[in-house]
Structure 1
Amino acid sequence: MPPEPASSAWAAVFSLAVGVFALLTAEYLPASLLTPMAADLGISEALAGQAVTVTAVAAMLSGLLTASLTRRIDRRYVLLGFTVLLIVSNLLVAVASNMAMLMVMRILLGVALGGFWSMAAAVAMRLVPAALVPRAVSIIFSGIAVATIVAVPLGSYLGDLSGWRNTFLAAAGLGVVTLLFQWFTLPRMAPHGTARLGTLWEVLRRPGFGVGIVGMLLVHIGHYALFTYIRPALENIMSVDADKLALLLFVFGVANFVGTLAAGWLLQISLRLTLTLTPVLMGAAALGLALLPAGQVGYVALVILWGLAFGGVSVAWSNWATRMVPDQAESAGGLVVVGVQSAIAGGAAAGGVMFGLGGTVTVFTISGAILLASALLIVLRVRSPRAPQTAAESA
């Protein structure tokens, strides 16, 4: 393991949060610009939508391979390299003249996204003392929540105002700001460990790690089966119009952001409590939305509860992975990225099957049960390693 830092590099931590925000914003942009992109490139909206798919697939592969392929390179330069890829991808998407060029550039974005995410928790261990790692990881991953809140509506607004190509140019500009922030704040971080492709299998075979990944998959599958159908669910259950729906989604995003930051505090109290409580609250919210006559105020409260709980999921599992295998934290982070990306695809597919069988009530009821079952698995089988001691505590 690398030596624990003597002081906290909070500016570097915030630069990583900005990096996550910039990467996720770029990933989400096609969702809000699909129609004008398809029309300009002369392709169908369905085909243009594959720009999101190829990004996710590339992110999965990058998450798996980053630790082994960059094992001899200073982590500062690896992270800066991913931000450069973000800038290049957005710039070239903005001038893309055909579908092939668009897809290649979105693959570059996926490489940056998966690699950056897989390294985030491991790098946090190099920037702050051990006792503060949960707080640092929660700050870094707050970039996901902020991107969830602003990326789609902001992308739609800028696209209508100045065109989809200029929106990607603006995303490239955000990448330049991110690169400068990271250049001046990230310290040198010599490579540590001997990660190779075989290391991934070795990490999966560590006692308790595999069953933990299963628990993590169930939590994310349960959530993304719900989230994929959040719009029809809110329209059918709460009978909201388009304006109220947009407001509810904004409230959900804000709750998600608050939950991400709150998870950093809760993790310092108990990792096991955080891992268990998040799916319990999400499952309760899902079942409440599906089965309870809660009324408008009650339903809004359940949506807020769901957003708060999910805000802690990525933070909790990233911390769990690095605590389980602190000597191969980057490889563990890569496996978490692959698990999450797989769960997004699997959850959406499972949600589609459930939706076809019985509509939104079926989706929310079964997904709520899956989330509660995952909490039970976590309580009974998932190991929860203790937080590492600081140098002062161990003295």
Structure 2
Amino acid sequence: MQLSSPLTDHASAAGQPAWSAVGAMTMCVALLIAAEFMPVSLLTPIARDLGATQGMAGQAIAVSGLFAVATSLLIPAVARRHDRRHVLIALTWTMLASLVLIAMAPDFTVLMLARALLGVTIGGFWALSTATVMRLVPGELLPKALGLMYTGNAVAAALAAPMGSYFGAIIGWRATFWTLVPLVLINLLWQAASLPSLPPLPPDASKATTSVLGLLKRRHVALAMAGAMLSFGGAFTSFTYFRPFLETYTQASVPQMSMLLLGLGVAGFAGTYGATLLLGRHLYPLLRWLPLALGLVTVLLLGVGHHLWVTAIALAAWGALNAAIPVAWSTWLTRGVRDAPESGGGLMVAAIQLSIMAGAALGGLLLDHFYITATLLGGAALLAMACLLVGNGRRLQA
């Protein structure tokens, strides 16, 4: 299906697709995902080194979500006055500064500050990513370009947690974050060489970006944002604390934990690919049943968590289902808010990051005050609510 909007029309008129620029953005997305979620597999050593509880360390993910929310809501209005090339490169420099601060953090306060800077990049880059890609390739190539970018997401999701766990045990969590710094520098050079000038669009093409929150006046958009928040919030209530679950419930060693998390991540490729094949005709059933299936697997983990190999299979299923959810919601965005892609992108990123922040916070509270069982059950409950809200999908259509 060919998507049409002022932005895709602009891309079509531009001639040849800028695949190198799409590749640079894909690499940046992968690095962002790696930096955002690497603490999931490093919660225990980070907490121990900085004198915090594991629940407090989990809030490092929550704070990046808070700043990502604020940035994603503000960035469309800011970006429409500047060349997108300069904005994206500036955001990548901010990620670099964040990683250096994380690696050098002397205490928990500095760690939180560094994660806040990372949240600025996450919110800004993701909010602009879809609309930017729409200007880099013609409309008929947009699904392929977005699929490439989400492949970067899947690669990082597959590698961040297990590599963090493995290298954290060998060289320490600080050195693990240092390994990302040269990769970000390479990405900055790639962006500088490949991203074309993307000046502000004419007023008639960008007027829809003036109000991100204004989109919530559309009933189907407001309901979709609620459904997305419940889906992502439920997933991250559990996912953020999989390491404590595997340590205390499964009693996995560090090498075993690394392999379990790697299996979860690699299964994400299957989930991404499978969702891409089904989205053309089955978008709304996927939005409805994916969170319910993910919630059921989350509960299943509590039943089989004492058995290593069965846990490995359940985690692989969890990873596949979880990876399919963002693909489904990004596809809804191109249909549900196609007339305002930058504002819609900002709003979707805000909703997702707010749900990640809330999910990580809720999971940490349940872990600190109850037990890991409560954390996983809380996540499953939110996922079931997402299924109920989406229903047959009619309420999510304009």
Category of TM-score, reference length = shorter chain: 0.7 to 0.9
* Structure-1 residue corresponding to 2:239: 227
1:63 corresponds, among 55, 58, 72, to: 72
Report the alpha carbon displacement of residue 314 of structure 1 after superposing the two structures with TM: 1.6
Which whole-Å CA distance do the structure 2 matches of 1:207 and 1:170 have between them? 45
Query: Aligned-pair distance for 1:161?
Result: 5.9
2:326 pairs with 1:314: yes
Q: 1:382 to 1:236 in 2, by over 3 A?
A: farther
- The counterpart of 2:336, out of the listed 319, 324, 328, is 324
Which of residues 343, 350, 360 in structure 2 aligns to 1:338? Answer: 350
* Distance (Å, rounded) in 1 between the aligned partners of 2:370 and 2:104: 44
Query: Which residue pairs with 2:260 in the alignment?
Result: 248
- TM-superposed CA distance for 1:363, in Å, is 4.9
Distance across 2 between alignment mates of 1:356 and 1:168: 26
Output one character per residue of 1:190-237: Cα deviation in whole Å (capped at 9) or x when no partner: 33313666x122111123100111111111222122224434555677
CA contact (8 A) 1:280 1:375 kept: yes
Question: Hey, what does 2:3 align to over in structure 1?
Answer: none
Query: Is the contact between residue 390 and residue 396 of structure 2 (CA under 8 Å) also seen in structure 1?
Result: no
For 2:238 and 2:109, the matched residues in 1 are separated by: 33
The CA distance in 2 between the partners of 1:256 and 1:343, in whole Å, is 20
Is 1:68–1:195's contact at 8 Å kept on the other side of the alignment?
A: no
Pick one of 99, 116, 128 that aligns with 1:119.
Answer: 128
1:355 Cα offset (Å): 5.9
Specify the alignment match of 2:207 in structure 1. 194
In the alignment, residue 128 of structure 1 is paired with which amino acid? Answer: V
Residue 359 to residue 334, structure 1, CA distance change in 2 (3 Å): same
Q: Check 1:65–1:248 CA distance in 2 against 1; reply closer, same or farther (3 A cut).
A: same
Q: Which amino acid aligns with 1:309?
A: L
Q: Give 1:59 shift.
A: 1.6
Structure 2 residue 387 is the aligned partner of structure 1 residue 368: no
1:2 corresponds to which of 7, 17, 39: 7
Aligned-pair CA distance for 1:339: 1.6
Deviates more, 1:81-90 or 1:285-294: 285-294
Alpha-carbon shift at residue 175 of structure 1 (Å): 1.0
Change (3 A) 1:114 1:294: same
Kept in 1, the 8 Å contact 2:166–2:254? The answer is no
Displacement of 1:282:
1.0
Match of 2:340, SS state, is helix
In structure 1, the residue matched to 2:291 is: 279
Cα offsets for 1:160-185 (capped at 9, x unmatched): 66666655443221111111222233
**Cα distance 1:104–1:354, how it changes in 2: closer, same or farther (>3 A)?**
closer
Higher mean alpha-carbon deviation, 134-143 vs 176-185, is at 134-143
Mapped partners of 2:373, 2:98: distance in 1: 40
Paired residues for 1:119-158 under 5 Å: 119-155=128-164
Among candidates 169, 179, 183, match of residue 174 of structure 1: 183
Preserved CA contact (<8 Å) 1:135 1:265: no
1:288 offset after TM fit, Å?
3.5
Paired with 2:306 and 2:161, the residues of 1 have a C-alpha distance of 29
Indicate whether 1:87 and 2:96 are aligned: yes
Distance 1:348 1:51, change over 3 A: closer
Q: Distance in 1 between matches of 2:146 and 2:85?
A: 17
Q: What letter is aligned with 1:327?
A: D
Equivalent residues of 2:8, 2:134 under 8 A apart: no
Residue 218 of structure 1 corresponds to which residue in structure 2?
Answer: 230
Greater shift, 290-299 or 85-94, is seen at: 290-299
Shift of 1:304: 1.8
Counterpart in the other structure of 1:391: none
In structure 1, list runs of 5 or more residues that go unmatched.
387-395
Instruction: Give the counterpart of 1:378 among 372, 382, 390.
Output: 390
Q: What is the RMSD of the two structures over their aligned residues, measured on CA atoms?
A: 3.7
Task: Determine if contact 2:7/2:131 at 8 Å carries over to the other structure.
Answer: no
Say if 1:275 and 1:316, in contact at 8 Å, map to a contact too: yes
* 2:152 alignment partner AA: G
Matches of residues 256-295 of structure 1 in structure 2 within 5 Å? Answer: 256-290=268-302
User: 1:359 offset after TM fit, Å?
Assistant: 5.0
Query: For residue 7 of structure 2, what is the amino acid of its counterpart?
Result: P
Question: What SS does structure 2 have at the residue aligned with 1:118?
Answer: helix
Q: Distance in 2 between matches of 1:116 and 1:314?
A: 16
Aligned partners of 2:166 and 2:258 also within 8 Å: no
Between Structure 1 and Structure 2, how many residues are aligned? Answer: 383
Output the CA distance in 1 between the equivalents of 2:61 and 2:244.
Answer: 21
Equivalent of residue 51 in structure 2, options 44, 53, 60: 44
| Within-5 A mapping of 1:72-83 | 72-83=81-92
Q: Structure 2: which 5+ residue stretches go unaligned?
A: 1-5
Q: So what's the TM-score if we normalise by structure 1?
A: 0.80
1:118-169 Cα shifts (integer Å, max 9, x gaps):
1122223223344543443233133333333333444465566666665544
What are the Cα deviations for residues 250-301 of structure 1, in whole angstroms up to 9, with x where unaligned?
Answer: 1011112332344333333442233224213213323443468997665543
Match in the other structure for 2:193: 184
